[in-house]
């Protein structure tokens, strides 16, 4: 499911006051990190992830790997912070059309 501009803006606004749920360490994307992200997405649908302080391109690649592994959509990436969204089976967040 691709997000349109209105949906992305809505999710950014919802994520603004949230704290990071998962932090990726210097080891990068490991099976344990993916498992934690899966659990967090199952509970919250919309989560913030703190990425390590590596180059911008490396962080973008990490975010792509996370989204592919978790079946999620990247909502936003600012500095070391990323926001991803995956709707639950019974969605709790209402997205605009």
| CATH code (residue 18) | 3.30.110.60
pTM of the model: 0.91
Return the bridge partners of 50, or none: 23, 81
Assess if residue 97 is contained within a domain.
Answer: no
Assess if residue 25 is contained within a domain.
Answer: yes
User: What total of structural domains would you count in the chain?
Assistant: 1
Assess if residue 29 is contained within a domain.
Answer: yes
Dihedral of alpha carbons 88, 89, 93, 97, sign: positive
Assess if residue 60 is contained within a domain.
Answer: yes
Residues 6+ apart with CB under 8 A from 53: 80
Which parts of the chain sit beneath pLDDT 70?
Answer: 1
Domain that holds residue 25: 5-85
Assess if residue 91 is contained within a domain.
Answer: no
Assess if residue 31 is contained within a domain.
Answer: yes
pLDDT of residue 89: 85
């Amino acid at each position: 499911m691709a997000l349109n501009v209105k949906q992305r803006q809505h999710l950014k606004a919802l994520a603004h006051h949230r704290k990071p749920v998962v932090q990726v360490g210097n080891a990068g994307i490991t099976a344990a990190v993916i498992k934690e992200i899966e659990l967090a997405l199952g509970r919250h649908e919309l989560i913030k992830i703190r990425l390590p302080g590596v180059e911008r391109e490396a962080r973008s690649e990490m975010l792509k790997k996370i989204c592919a592994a978790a079946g999620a959509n990247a909502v936003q990436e600012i500095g070391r912070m990323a926001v991803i969204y995956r709707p639950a089976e019974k969605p709790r967040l209402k997205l605009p059309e």
